[in-house]
Structures are given as structure tokens and as C-alpha cells.
Amino acid sequence: MQKFSNKLFASVLATLLLLTGAWSNPALASESQELITPSDIIKEFEGKFGPDSDGVSTRLAGSDRFQTAVKISQQGWENDSSEFAVLSAGMNENLVDALTSAPLAFLQKAPILLTEGDSLNPQTELELERLGVKTVYVTSGLGIIKQNVINKLEDELGLTVINLGGKDRFETAINTAKEMGINGLSVTEVAISTAYSNADALSMASIAAANGIPILLSDVNSIPATVSDFLKTVEVQQSYVLGGEGVLSQSVENALPNPIRLGGANRYETNSQIINAFIETIKNDKVYLASGNNANIVDALCGASLAAKTSSAMVLVDKQGLDKATEYLVKDRMFPIRKKNLVALGGETVVPQALVDDLGTVVQYLKDGATEGSTNAPLYVDHSIAVVGNSVTLNNVNTPYDAYVSGNNATLQNVTVGEALILNPGVDGKVSLENVTAGIVFILSGSSQDGVTIKDSNIGMLMVHSISDVNVNVNFDSNVALTSVLSNATLETHQYSGDPDAGAGFGFIVVGGGQYAPEVKFKGDFTKYQNPVISVVAGTVINTNVTSNIPSVAVVPEFEDSNVKLQGLFGQVIVNKPVNFALLGVNSSISHLTIPSVSAATAQLEGQVETTVYTDPE
């Protein structure tokens, strides 16, 4: 889900780390302080929905691979804009020499062009002239790109030629990496790909280029001596092993410094694994689609340097149909991708337009006051959905991906969302969920009176990270496994009926985290919440019920200078680490307080504490 997914899921991760005790790790605590704000999250969705939001996709294609490479170059580079160009042999059997060239091309702000081996392709020649190129990197030796091609480049076009070709494909990759070093790159990371298949290296090419990571090649069962010798000359801190053990064995992985394997059951799963690993650095304003089939994968090579210019991913697709890993990657992890974000490389026989349109589709419900969905069997939608209209009722809809609600007064009934349900009805808006199932529900805005109502629903995680002080009402027939509150809110629940079949309500509740110290009001009857199922990391918890207490609260601060304040009636309160602790209000009370002695000495206790047990910090 674009930056929303990347950074807000970091918030989810930070919360889970808190629950597992990882808040004691200073590095993780530092990471959690960089969480994205709800205003930033909402900005990520601006302009992505509505009647004019879809747009049209872009296609860069020529009559053959050589012209397609020129079209890609023309898209990314203006006249007289590139001093450098990379020139690769366009024949399938020789593409391996160019696999590792994208990081160098990006470093030198250069396009990647193709030629035949025995003559300079005329379209490529014209493109070199248009670009104003002065230096050409040739990625194959004279056995492949012949001397007469070099002569034409040097003598007729007056270009400087730097030949990266080595005695074999391994040395060619090393020469490319060395050239990157000559031009100022300090090599701290490397990617290792098989030398006998093009797909895995090309899945990494645009990402490696944008991040300054050289790509090296290896045999299946051992790293060639020349590659090992090169690795000894640089200080590599991280290695990425591309593909499964069938293409690069465990022995190759073990021979590399700090390796991470990025591989799936096939090239498309590997492509998805690689993109997911770098999702934090990828921008989705453009997503490039190229054929993963051997006969046409050359387009991904030529597009890698262009994709790197916008920190975009290169997604490999099969013209026969989308791999499930690819479909999930684009439709969920990159949500919301629209047609205008997609760039197809190659003609429709290579990347079918129907495939492009499918990946760029979000099903939208735009009409105010409409009742949408199904009145009978659930309607399965193989896309993410967006409820944009006001007062829309959405009934009996099932999506395996995500749902975004920006319309005010929306009602979702009998709806299943496989991944994230994002609620953003506005600071005075409201949303009602009834019999809704979702992996995660994010609340980004809502009214302080009746912002979000959740009935008879099943939710894995409820995250309140709102621009407004939102009221969230969850009945006890709902099952929420975990509720994380990072912004001011009121958590309201119906009185527990005593029905043994009733659900968990808000489930395990965590207040605060990272830089967030919200004020959270608990309204209703929370006597069901026995044991420490309410944890306070930072912030203020107010029990508004003046007749019953919140039975148990655990205070689990990230930092000693965090502030935790309680107000109202509480049973057992356990402070498990030093913290600035306060019980506010003369009518407040704690039945049993366990607190480190160092915090007890500075605690502000306006209310009554019946029993206090002092502990020493570890």
C-alpha cells in the first residue's frame, strides 16, 4: 500500500514489538520514533480516488527490441541530456553480459541501448546522436560486439568507448562493479545472481541501480574465484542472494557476508520477494511492467535505468496470466495503483493490455446514497475497493485485498477484506461496520461523537491513528485480537452481557508507542478486561465510568522519561519499568499498585492507592 503500507505497517510492527518485550532494544525504539503521521498517511491517498482518478497507462514499445530500447530512452532522456550511454548486445544468448549494467547506467545517468553484434543498429545510432552521448560503455567483448562496431562508435561518431567485457560473464560483471567504484561508488552491498538465467538479475536491476548495489554473477554451487577475489577488495556489509537454492545453492549463500536470500518457487515469486524486500525505498508513482518470458525479457533490461530514475519497481509478468505472487504484490502491497501509474514495456503481445488494466483497477463506489454490493450471495471482487460516495451502504462484498473508505456516513455490512480496511470519513465523519471481517482496520479520522461503530465483526488488528479525536465503539459480540491507539480517542464498549459466546471486544489494547502519547478515554463497562490486557506505553488513560473500575493495567514504557497518567477507577496497575507515573484526580483510585521504587519516589498521586508494592528495576 505504497508509503502508507510501508510506513504505517512499521507502526504495526513497533506495536507488536512492544507486546513481545522488544521495546528494551534501543535500536528498535529509535526506529519506532520515525512512524508516519496520520496527516501524511491521508496525503498518500489524495487524488487516488474519484471519477477522474483512473487515468490511462503508458506503453513504451517499438517494432522490435532495438526500437523499444530507443522508445524507453526517449521517454527518460531529453535531447543532448546524456553524456553517457550503455550499449549492450541485443541477442538473447548475449544478454547475460548486460544483466549487471543497470547500476552503472543509473550512476552515470545513462540509458541502456541495444545493438546487433556485427553492425551498429541504425536506430540506436540515431539515439546516441540525439542524446549527445560522448562516452559509451560496451557490455560485451569483441567476440560478440565486433571491432567494426567499436570503430564506428569511435571513428565515425567520435565517441569514447569503455569496454566492460571480460574473458567471461563473471569478469564482465566485476568490470562493471569496478567501473562504478572508479566513478565514486563505495561498495557496501552486493547482489548475487545466477549467471545462467536473466530473470532474477533483472528483477533486481532497477532496485540495485537506485540503491547503488552492484550485481555480480555466480555458478550454482560455488562462487567463481574471480568474484571471491573481488569481494575481498571491498567492504561488503550486506549480500542479497537472488533466487532459490536451485539456481544458487546454500554453499554460495554461506560464502557471502551477511547474506539475505530473496527467492521464490519461480521467477515471478522471486521478483515479488525482491520488490517486497526493498518496498521501503520504492516509489509507486510509476510501476514498470515487463515480460518475464525469456524471449522478451530484454525489455526489462532496457527499462531498468529508466525505472531507477524514479525509484520504481520492475514487475515481471507472464503474458499467459498473472502469477499470484505478482497479483498480490501490485494489488495489495502497492495499493492504490491506478492505470496512470503503470508503464508497460513492449507491445501488447508481450505485455497484454488486459493484464495492465487488471493490475490498475480499483473498484469504486462513487454514488451518494447508493446501496451497493449484493442482496444474495457474497459478491467476490478480485481487486481492492474504495467507498468514495457519502451515505453509501456496501453489502455482501468480499475482496482478498484492501478497502478504503473516504465517504461520510458509510455502512459496511457482511463485508470481508482480506488485508487492510482503511477508514477516513473526515474529522466529523462516521463509518459503521457490521459483520465485517478484516485483517487490519486503520482509523485515520472520524467524529468524536460516533465516529466508528463496530458490531459483530472479526478484526485481527484495530489501529487508531487519527487526525481527529475519534470515538470508536466496539460491541462485545465483536472479536478484535489487538487494538493499538496512537492518537487521542474514546474507546467505547457496550456493557458485557455475561453471554459466554460473546466476543473479545477490543481485545488486547495498547496505548501509545514511539513518539505518540495520546489521551484515551475508556467509556462503558470494561470489567470484562481481566488480567493485564490493557497496556500503556505512553500517554493518558481515563476511565470515565464512575461506578466500576478497569480491572487491570500494565504500564510498559519504551523510555524512562515517558509519561504515563491514569485518571479514574482502576484495579491492579503494574508498572514494569521506570517511568514518569501519575494518578490524576482526587476521585481516582488504584486498588493495587506495583511500581519500581525509583518511579514511586517521583510519582504524582492525587487519588487514592489502597496497596502499593515496590520493586527494583532490573
Same domain, 22 and 108: no
Same domain, 113 and 210: yes
Q: Estimate to the nearest angstrom the gap between the alpha carbon of 159 and the chain centroid.
A: 42
Query: Which 8-state DSSP code applies to residue 104?
Result: H
pLDDT of residue 35: 65
pLDDT of residue 9: 53
The total number of structural domains that make up the chain:
2
In a domain, 416, yes or no: no
In a domain, 573, yes or no: no
In a domain, 78, yes or no: yes
Residue 102: which H helix or E strand, with range?
helix 102-107
Residue 466 has pLDDT above 70, yes or no: yes
Q: Which segment of 8-12, 366-370, 586-590 scores lowest on mean pLDDT?
A: 8-12
Amino acid letter for position 39 = S
In a domain, 62, yes or no: yes
30-80 confidence digits (pLDDT tens): 344 456 789 988 988 988 999 999 999 999 999 999 999 999 999 999 999
Average pLDDT, whole number, for the chain? 91
Same domain, 110 and 245: yes
d(CA 173, CA 605): 68
User: In the listed set 298, 330, 359, which residue is the last one of a domain according to the structure?
Assistant: 359
What residues contact residue 581 under an 8 Å CB cut-off, 6+ apart? Answer: 555, 564, 565, 575, 595, 599, 600, 602, 603, 604
Residue 595 has pLDDT above 90, yes or no: yes
pLDDT of residue 617: 57
Question: Dihedral of CA 56/57/60/64: which sign?
Answer: negative
Q: What percent of the chain has pLDDT over 90?
A: 81
Q: What percent of the chain has pLDDT over 70?
A: 92
Contact between 35 and 28 under an 8 Å Cβ cutoff? The reply is no
In a domain, 197, yes or no: yes
d(CA 331, CA 497): 41
CB contact burial 233-245 (16+ within 10 A = b; e otherwise): ebebeebbbbbbe
Give CA separation, 290 vs 110, 334, 342, 344, in Å. 20, 17, 11, 6
User: In the listed set 337, 359, 381, which residue is the last one of a domain according to the structure?
Assistant: 359
Phi, psi dihedral angles at 451 (to 5 degrees): -60, -55
Rounded to 10 degrees, the C-alpha dihedral 271/49/420/18 comes to 90
**In sequence order, which ranges of 331-481 are alpha helices (DSSP H)?**
353-359
pLDDT of residue 33: 45
474-506 confidence digits (pLDDT tens): 987 899 999 999 999 999 987 555 565 567 789
CB contact burial 61-85 (16+ within 10 A = b; e otherwise): bbeebbbbbbbbbbebbeeeebebb
pLDDT of residue 28: 36
In a domain, 190, yes or no: yes
100-123 confidence digits (pLDDT tens): 999 999 999 999 999 999 999 999
d(CA 426, CA 390): 11
Contact between 160 and 134 under an 8 Å Cβ cutoff? The reply is yes
270-308 confidence digits (pLDDT tens): 999 999 999 988 998 999 999 999 999 999 999 999 999
Same domain, 8 and 32: yes
Is pTM beyond 0.85? Reply is yes
Same domain, 104 and 131: yes
Q: Look up cell 484526580; give the residue.
A: 585
Same domain, 158 and 179: yes
Same domain, 64 and 38: no
d(CA 460, CA 182): 51
d(CA 295, CA 304): 17
233-261 confidence digits (pLDDT tens): 999 999 999 999 999 999 999 999 999 99
Considering only CA atoms, which of 306, 304, 311, 322 is closest in space to residue 285? 311
Same domain, 259 and 324: yes
pLDDT of residue 25: 41
Residue 330 has pLDDT above 60, yes or no: yes
pLDDT of residue 18: 53
pLDDT of residue 3: 46
- Domain span at residue 289? 58-359
pLDDT of residue 4: 52
pLDDT of residue 26: 36
pLDDT of residue 34: 55
Contact between 259 and 237 under an 8 Å Cβ cutoff? The reply is no
* Choice between 356 and 25, residue whose per-residue pLDDT is larger: 356
Q: What mean pLDDT do residues 397-418 have?
A: 97
d(CA 517, CA 361): 38
In a domain, 579, yes or no: no
d(CA 51, CA 30): 41
Same domain, 303 and 345: yes
Same domain, 23 and 93: no
Residue 420: CA count within 13 A, CB half-sphere: 23
Give the three-state DSSP class for 317.
strand
pLDDT of residue 132: 98
585-594 confidence digits (pLDDT tens): 999 999 999 9
d(CA 416, CA 400): 8
d(CA 18, CA 186): 36
In a domain, 401, yes or no: no
pLDDT of residue 32: 42
Same domain, 216 and 325: yes
Give the three-state DSSP class for 24.
helix
Query: Which pLDDT band, with edges at 50, 70 and 90, does 219 fall under?
Result: very high
Same domain, 25 and 169: no
User: In the listed set 359, 394, 425, which residue is the last one of a domain according to the structure?
Assistant: 359
What residues contact residue 493 under an 8 Å CB cut-off, 6+ apart? Answer: 473, 474, 475, 476, 505, 506, 523, 524, 525, 526
Q: Estimate to the nearest angstrom the gap between the alpha carbon of 343 and the chain centroid.
A: 20
